[in-house]
Each structure stands twice: as structure tokens, then as C-alpha cells.
């Protein structure tokens, strides 16, 4: 890696001198993460992660990186890597200064990114907190030696869980993996409210256009699609939903949205947002039907949810018209504008989820890592739901930190769930 600057703890970051600025951002993120701070207190008190090795791939921006810092503060040996597009260099330097081994630079090449991921696996993590199953796939293919120490993994994304389930079905998954995404404290809030808000924020910030009155097409109506559709409607957009699942389509209809196939909906859509986790959910044929000036943004974790490859062939000479906004001129004199290069838009053209949301997600992740360290050797290889007690603990801590009290079942009500003979 020519030109790479190394500093203490063998981190690879662009400029260690950026650490003070990055550190301030981390500190600020920490003030909005009350649950994660309580997780740290718990881990420190019980010593459950002390000197345990944890490898992480996640964006290196303040709130995400705070998870790595908090685990290091809890006594774990943490190695963190991220793709260049999702790395803030000052934050990377700040994290490295706080005792995490960091392998992340904003200008890294795809080859260097793979080297960074290898560096994490070379540290022989006992648990990995993964993004799109990148480390897990490497450990099962190019880096099999990593499996010797790997007790288990916790996966962040819906798409990564799809990969893990496919590996498990094929008999290829050799470690227990917790689908952190399937925790209620993750997808109900992160996928829905986090992505809903931050996707719309990224598109509006990038374009400085008005949402009110526009026709917006959401492709995919699960948690992410629902979050986008609800927020877009709240801001005055006229929302259409496209789905392949009849139940999700019916739900969208009952939520009050127009439902139509993608090619039909594209005839009038002024903004299209994909939220499927499936390649080519918006094919070129549909893009070609869009009105002049339509905006395209992808909220899903799969980079080619719309057909960027064929769009680039169809409209060569695309030009950057604003930061993160590329214009593609179609032959008929019409243009479409792609936000954030078709990559996950709230990160490629925005700052990701609000920190209060990630407080929940990362508390689930940290406690899933703890669970794997303590119990992983008793778990079967395969994909596991997060233990329900993690969800409940995280939700209770969050409510408590917000000063919100809730009711409890009475003993009589509790017994109603077990004592069927007493039912009338
Ligand atoms: N941007 C972010 O920060 C963020 C956060 C959370 C999740 N995600 C990603 O967003 C994507 C969606 O997440 P989710 O939790 O809602 O996923 P999900 O898997 O629960 O739902 C996907 C939905 O898309 C529908 N779908 C699939 N193919 C389609 C097609 N060709 N046309 C129309 N609809 C189709 C499915 O029927 C399903 O309802 C995933 O890739 C996930 O990893 C991104």
C-alpha cells in the first residue's frame, strides 16, 4: 500500500493529525447515545468483553465509529475497517487515537479496501460485527484460517442476512450468526424511521428541490420503503408504491398509497427511490419512461438496485451538475438525475441515520457480540434471531433515558398467557 501512513496501534488512516477534530465528533455522538453508554457500563462491570478480539466493518462516521470506541473502552481489542466512500478521515484518525485499530481511508481503492478487511481478519477476531456479510464471506472463502478463532458474527443489514441465509441453506455457513437486523429494536426504527428520514434528507440536501406536490415512486414496501413513503407523504409528496409481494402491495394500498407496476409508475414519477435489496429493481426500460428531470436515489444496500451499468452505456458523457448529483441525458433530449452514484444514498450523499436511531441499532450489535462471546460456542452454525432479552433491555433503557414510563402486566394477566384451563 504505497503512500499509506501508519501510526500507533498499526492503524491505517489518511492523516493521524486529523484526530482532534474527529475526536470532537465522536464525543458529540456519544452524548446522543445514552443506551450505548449504558451498555458500556454493563460490559465494564461484568468484564465480559475484556481482552476479547472484535472485528468490525461499518461506515467510519461519528456515530458508527462510536460503537467501536465504546467497545474498546469496555476492554475489547477492536479492529475496524470501512470502504473509502463511507470513511471520514478525521473520524478514522480520532477512533485510532482512542485505542481502536482502524483500516480506513476516504481515498482507498477497491483493492486496498480488500487489504483493509484482510487486516481485520488477520487480527483473528473472536466475533465480527459485519456489514453485508463482507468479513463472513471472506472468512469462508479467501481467509479460511480466520474461522479457527471466529466464534460467531453479528450482521447489520437486511441484505447481509439474505446472504447468510443463502449460505446456511447451501450448508456453507460454519459459524453462528446473529441477524441483528431482525431485532425489533433494529429494523422497526433504523430501517423505517432512520432510513426514511435520512434518505429524503440526502436527496433534498443534494438537489435543493421541493418535495411537496411531487410524484414520488417507492420501489419495495418493507421497513425501509414504509419509512420513506410515510415521510414523503408527510412532506406533501404524492406517493406511489411498486411491489412484487402481494401482501406488501396490499398493505401499501391500505396505508393509502397508489400501487402500480414499476414501468407504469415511471411514466409519471418525478422522484424514484428504490428500497428492495434486489439488483435491477428499476430496469433501464423503466428509467427510459421517466419524465424529463426525474431524480433517482437508491436506499437499499445493493449498489445496482437501478441499472447504473446500462444507464451509463445508454447515456454516455454523464456530468456532475451538483455535488452528488449526476445528469444522464437520454437520446430523446430528456435527462434523469442520479443522486449519490446509485449507491446507498443516505450514506453516499448524506450523513446516514440520526444518532438516536443508531443508539438502538448499535446497542443491539454490542449486546449480540457479547452474547456470541459468552454463548457462541454453544450455538449451532446458522442464522439466529437476536435473543429477545436484548431487544427488551435496549427498549427499556431507551425509554428510561427519555424519561418515559410504561405499564406492566399484572400477575393475573401474566398467568392468562399460560393457564389456558382458566380461559372462559
Ligand atoms: N439505507 C440504509 O441506511 C438502510 C437501512 C436499513 C436497510 N437498508 C437496506 O434497504 C433494503 C430494504 O430493506 P428492508 O428491511 O425494507 O428489506 P426487506 O427485505 O424487508 O424488504 C424488501 C422489500 O422489497 C420488495 N421487493 C423485492 N424485489 C422487488 C422488486 N423487484 N420490485 C418491487 N419490490 C421488490 C420485497 O417484496 C420486500 O417487501 C435492504 O437492502 C436493506 O439492507 C438500508
pLDDT digits (tens, 9 = 90+) for 185-221: 999 999 999 999 999 999 999 999 999 999 999 999 9
pLDDT, position 159 = 87
Q: What pLDDT is recorded for position 9?
A: 52
Distance 165 CA to ligand 1 centre (A): 16
Question: Same structural domain for residues 153 and 47?
Answer: yes
State the closest ligand 1 atom to the C-alpha of 242, by its place in the atom list counted from 1: 33
Same domain, yes or no, for 43 and 159?
A: yes
- Does one domain contain both 243 and 195? yes
For residues 200 and 310, membership in a common domain is answered with: yes
pLDDT in the model for residue 81: 97
Tell me if residue 273 falls in helix, strand or coil: strand
Q: Residue 313 and residue 256: Cα distance in Å, rounded? A: 37
Residue percentage of the chain with pLDDT more than 90: 90
Give the model confidence (pLDDT) of 18-51 as tens digits.
999 999 999 999 999 999 999 999 999 999 999 9
Strand partners, 179: 155
Domain count within the chain? 2
List of long-range contacts for 320-325, beta carbons under 8 Å, 24+ apart = 322/206, 322/207, 322/208, 323/206, 324/202, 324/206, 324/348, 324/349, 325/206, 325/207
pLDDT in tens, 122-176: 999 999 999 999 999 999 999 999 999 999 999 988 889 999 999 999 999 999 9
Do both 133 and 238 map to the same domain?
no
* Index of the ligand 1 atom closest to the CA of residue 132: 43
pLDDT range class, residue 299, cuts 50, 70, 90: very high
With respect to residue 408, please indicate whether it lies within any of the assigned structural domains: no
Q: Which one, of 196, 190, 198, 241, lies nearest residue 220 by Cα? A: 241
| Eight-class DSSP state of 385 | P
Q: What would the pLDDT profile of 301-342 be if each residue is shown by its tens digit?
A: 888 899 999 999 999 989 999 999 999 999 888 999 999 999
What's the mean pLDDT when you consider all of the chain?
94
Query: Ligand 1 in contact with 207 (CB < 6 A)?
Result: no
Residue 412 has pLDDT above 60, yes or no: yes
Q: Is 237 inside a domain boundary? A: yes
Please indicate, yes or no, if residue 266 is contained in any of the structural domains: yes
* Residue 414 in domain: no
Mean pLDDT of 110-124: 96
String of DSSP letters for 165-210: HHHHHTT---SEEEEGGGSHHHIIIIIIIIHHHHHHHHHHHHH---
The CA 219 to ligand 1 mean position distance, Å, reads 9
Residues 6+ apart with CB under 8 A from 17: 93
Phi-psi region of 47 (alpha: psi -120 to 50; beta: other; left: phi over 0): left
pLDDT per residue as tens digits for the range 59-102: 999 999 999 999 999 999 999 999 998 899 999 999 999 999 99
Q: What is the CATH number of the domain that holds 114?
A: 3.40.50.1480
Are 269 and 371 part of one and the same domain? no
CA-to-CA distance for 133 and 204, rounded, in angstroms?
A: 30
Q: pTM of the predicted model, to two decimals?
A: 0.90
pLDDT band at 384 (very low <50, low <70, confident <90, very high): very high
Decide if pLDDT at 2 tops 60: no
358 and 344 housed in the same domain? no
Q: Ligand 1: distance of its center to the CA of 301 in Å?
A: 8
Residues 37 and 15 in one domain: yes
Nearest ligand 1 atom to alpha carbon 225: 16
Single out the residue in 348, 381, 409 at which a domain terminates. Answer: 348
Pocket test for ligand 1, best of 157, 164, 191, 357 (most atoms within 8 A of CB): 191
Q: Based on the fold, state whether residues 302 and 202 are members of the same structural domain.
A: yes
Do 212 and 312 fall within a single domain? yes
Q: Is the CB of 345 under 6 A from ligand 1?
A: no
158 CB near ligand 1 (under 6 Å): yes
C-alpha cell at 251: 398493505
Is position 129 within any domain? yes
Is position 406 within any domain? no
The CATH number assigned to the domain holding 248 equals: 3.40.50.720
Over residues 381-407, mean pLDDT? 97
Domain end: 287, 316, 348, which one?
A: 348
Residues 225 and 139 in one domain: no
Q: Do 329 and 386 fall into the same domain?
A: no
Domain range for residue 138? 5-182+354-401
Q: Read off the pLDDT band of 4 (50, 70, 90).
A: very low
Residue 416 lies in a domain: no
Is 411 part of any domain? no
pLDDT of residue 229: 98
Task: Tell me which of 317, 348, 379 is where a domain ends.
Answer: 348
In this predicted structure, what is the pLDDT of residue 5?
Answer: 38
Question: Which pLDDT score, from 0 to 100, does residue 403 have?
Answer: 98
Pocket flag, ligand 1, residue 64 (CB < 6 Å): no
Give the whole-angstrom CA distance, residue 345 versus residue 224: 13
DSSP state of 245: S
d(CA 33, CA 357): 9
CA of 220 to the centre of ligand 1 (A): 6
In this structure, of 55-64, 281-290, 415-424, the range with the lowest mean pLDDT score is 415-424
Amino acid at each position: 500500500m504505497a503512500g499509506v501512513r501508519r501510526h500507533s496501534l498499526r492503524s491505517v488512516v489518511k492523516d493521524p493529525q486529523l484526530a482532534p477534530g474527529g475526536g470532537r465528533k465522536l464525543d458529540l455522538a456519544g452524548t446522543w447515545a445514552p443506551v450505548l453508554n449504558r451498555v458500556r457500563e454493563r460490559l465494564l462491570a461484568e468484564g465480559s468483553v475484556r481482552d476479547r478480539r472484535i472485528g468490525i466493518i461499518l461506515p467510519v462516521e461519528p456515530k458508527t465509529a462510536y460503537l467501536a470506541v465504546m467497545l474498546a473502552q469496555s476492554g475489547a481489542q477492536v479492529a475496524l475497517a470501512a470502504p473509502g466512500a463511507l470513511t471520514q478521515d478525521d473520524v478514522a484518525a480520532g477512533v485510532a487515537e482512542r485505542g481502536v485499530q482502524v483500516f480506513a481511508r476516504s481515498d482507498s481503492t477497491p483493492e486496498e479496501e480488500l487489504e483493509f478487511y484482510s487486516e481485520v481478519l488477520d487480527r483473528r477476531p473472536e466475533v465480527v460485527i459485519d456489514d453485508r456479510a463482507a468479513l463472513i464471506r471472506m472468512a469462508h472463502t479467501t481467509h479460511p484460517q480466520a474461522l479457527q478463532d471466529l466464534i460467531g458474527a453479528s450482521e447489520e443489514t437486511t441484505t447481509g442476512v439474505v446472504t447468510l441465509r443463502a449460505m446456511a441453506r447451501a450448508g456453507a455457513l460454519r459459524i453462528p450468526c446473529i441477524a441483528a437486523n431482525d431485532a425489533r429494536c433494529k429494523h422497526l426504527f433504523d430501517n423505517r424511521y432512520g432510513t426514511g428520514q435520512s434518505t429524503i434528507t440526502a436527496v433534498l440536501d443534494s438537489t435543493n428541490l421541493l418535495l411537496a406536490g411531487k410524484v414520488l415512486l417507492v420501489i419495495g414496501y418493507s421497513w425501509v420503503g414504509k419509512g420513506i413513503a410515510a415521510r414523503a407523504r408527510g412532506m406533501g409528496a404524492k406517493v406511489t408504491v411498486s411491489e412484487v409481494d402481494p401482501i406488501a402491495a396490499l398493505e401499501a394500498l391500505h396505508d393509502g398509497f397508489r400501487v402500480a407496476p414499476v414501468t407504469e409508475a415511471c411514466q409519471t414519477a418525478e422522484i424514484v427511490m428504490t428500497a428492495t435489496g434486489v439488483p435491477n429493481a428499476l430496469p433501464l426500460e423503466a428509467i427510459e419512461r421517466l419524465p424529463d428531470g426525474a431524480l433517482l436515489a437508491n436506499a437499499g444496500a445493493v449498489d445496482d438496485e437501478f441499472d447504473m451499468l446500462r444507464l451509463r452505456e445508454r447515456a454516455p458523457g454523464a456530468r456532475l451538475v451538483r455535488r452528488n448529483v449526476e445528469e444522464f441525458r437520454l437520446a430523446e433530449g430528456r435527462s434523469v438525475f442520479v443522486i449519490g452514484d446509485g449507491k446507498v444514498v443516505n450514506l453516499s450523499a448524506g450523513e446516514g441515520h440520526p444518532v438516536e436511531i443508531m443508539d438502538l441499532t448499535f446497542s443491539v450489535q454490542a449486546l449480540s457480540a457479547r452474547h456470541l462471546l459468552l454463548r457462541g460456542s454453544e450455538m449451532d452454525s446458522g442464522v439466529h434471531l437476536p435473543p429477545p432479552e436484548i431487544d427488551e433491555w435496549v427498549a427499556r433503557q431507551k425509554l428510561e433515558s427519555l424519561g418515559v414510563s410504561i405499564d406492566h402486566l399484572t400477575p393475573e394477566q401474566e398467568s392468562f398467557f399460560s393457564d389456558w384451563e382458566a380461559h372462559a
